[in-house]
């Protein structure tokens, strides 16, 4: 009976999340949000001034049935002659209990406005196509259990759904970043049209998501990697950063810092909103720890990161926390015979 109640509780939570989107639905999140720049803000497309490709993978709550896995891959490029950026991002999120899946393909465009020698602004826009579906065959209902013993009965349910199990819709998002050579502040607004995301032929608008993010990079004395003729100067820096998100009835905040001593990067930050209680409980979610590797070549660069979310909420460590991996590769695509232009680069962390 305990197992039955556990499954019922998970099912109830899932149905609330899946079908009451106007109240409870929220987008997936990445702890390494700066390693997923196009997912954070469409204005960050092309922010390296080069070509960039990346992939992010997150497995949240792996120790319980209702875990979430999210995979995102992107490519972006800065068009120097037009002071413009283009990008594309695909994202898939899947819930483990019943296989609720959300897939999106987004196309992004950004433009850079240089306000003076040390200040610039980049607006950006994304148009995306979303597809959501669910495997109803993986759900179990009360008429499939013995009312006396609680044992599962191998028989079909009498429950019916007004649904073809799929939903496709178009979405629009905007963003902007104001930055100098050492500081930046961004704002992004997602799901401007609040499209109907219901897969059971009801009204369930996808709530707008607001994200405010920023930080500062303190450059320390440069280090040296290698020896002799192969020696080269590498970055040493401390970068405090934050992100605050609001969607529907949900608020979330990430605040922490990154320490770079190339080729190693370590980071630690807190996730939660301690000044906003939920049913008289403090909104503390997790402590996130990061270990990253960054390698600069003559022209290209590669970043590899792993982070772990240590759960400090009431869900507890029994959930398994969250594991996250990122891989980002950056390389030039401009004509090497053209003289380089003096351009500002957003000093965001790489993870």
Q: What is the pLDDT of residues 237-294, one digit of tens each?
A: 999 999 999 998 889 999 999 999 999 999 999 999 887 776 666 678 899 999 999 9
CATH of residue 63: 2.40.160.40
Q: Is the pLDDT of residue 20 over 50?
A: no
Pick the residue with more confidence: 251 or 66?
251
Q: In this structure, is residue 338 part of a structural domain?
A: no
pLDDT for residue 334:
78
Mean pLDDT calculated for residue range 179-196: 96
Q: In 3-state terms, what secondary structure has residue 91?
A: strand
Report the distance separating Cα 159 and Cα 276, nearest Å: 39
Q: In this structure, is residue 341 part of a structural domain?
A: no
Q: In this structure, is residue 347 part of a structural domain?
A: no
Q: In this structure, is residue 317 part of a structural domain?
A: yes
pLDDT for residue 41:
98
Q: In this structure, is residue 339 part of a structural domain?
A: no
Q: In this structure, is residue 86 part of a structural domain?
A: yes
Pick the residue with more confidence: 15 or 239?
239
Q: In this structure, is residue 167 part of a structural domain?
A: yes
Indicate the number of domains in the chain.
1
Q: In 3-state terms, what secondary structure has residue 344?
A: coil
Q: In this structure, is residue 344 part of a structural domain?
A: no
Query: With bands split at pLDDT 50, 70 and 90, how would you rate the model's confidence at 145?
Result: confident
Closest C-alpha among 191, 282, 186 to residue 242: 186
- The mean pLDDT value of the chain amounts to 84
- List all residues 6 or more positions away from 342 whose beta carbon is below 8 Å from its beta carbon: none
- List all residues 6 or more positions away from 165 whose beta carbon is below 8 Å from its beta carbon: 133, 134, 135, 136, 199
Report the distance separating Cα 227 and Cα 214, nearest Å: 36
What pTM was estimated for this model as a whole? 0.85
Q: Which domain holds residue 58?
A: 2-331
């Amino acid at each position: 009976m305990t197992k039955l109640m556990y499954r019922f509780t998970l099912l109830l939570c899932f149905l609330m999340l899946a079908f009451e989107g106007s109240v409870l639905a929220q987008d997936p999140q990445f702890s390494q949000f700066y390693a997923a720049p196009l997912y954070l803000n469409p204005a960050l497309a092309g922010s390296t001034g080069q070509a960039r490709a990346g992939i992010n993978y997150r497995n949240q709550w792996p120790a319980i049935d209702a875990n979430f896995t999210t995979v995102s891959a992107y490519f972006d490029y800065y068009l120097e002659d037009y002071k413009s950026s283009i990008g594309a991002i695909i994202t898939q999120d899947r819930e483990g209990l019943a296989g609720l899946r959300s897939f999106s393909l987004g196309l992004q465009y950004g433009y850079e406005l240089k306000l003076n020698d040390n200040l610039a602004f980049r607006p950006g826009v994304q148009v995306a196509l979303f597809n959501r579906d669910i495997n109803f065959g993986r759900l179990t209902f009360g008429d499939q259990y013995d009312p006396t013993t609680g044992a599962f009965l191998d028989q079909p349910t009498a429950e019916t759904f007004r649904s073809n199990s799929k939903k496709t819709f178009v979405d629009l998002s905007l963003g902007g970043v104001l930055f100098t050579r050492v500081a930046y502040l961004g704002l992004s607004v997602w799901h401007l049209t609040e499209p109907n995301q219901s897969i059971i032929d009801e009204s369930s608008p996808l709530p707008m998501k607001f994200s405010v993010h920023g930080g500062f990079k303190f450059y320390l004395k440069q280090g040296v990697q290698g020896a002799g003729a192969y020696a080269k100067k590498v970055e040493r820096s401390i970068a405090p950063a934050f992100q605050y998100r609001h969607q529907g009835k949900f608020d979330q905040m990430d605040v922490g810092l990154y320490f770079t001593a190339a080729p190693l990067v370590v980071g630690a930050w807190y996730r939660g909103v301690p000044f906003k209680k939920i049913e008289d409980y403090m909104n503390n979610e997790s402590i996130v720890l990061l270990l990253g590797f960054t390698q600069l070549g003559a022209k290209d660069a590669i970043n590899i990161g792993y982070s772990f979310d240590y759960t400090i909420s009431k869900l507890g460590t029994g959930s398994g926390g969250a594991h996250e991996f990122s891989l980002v590769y950056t390389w030039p695509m401009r004509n090497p015979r053209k003289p380089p232009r003096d351009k500002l680069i957003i000093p965001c962390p790489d993870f």
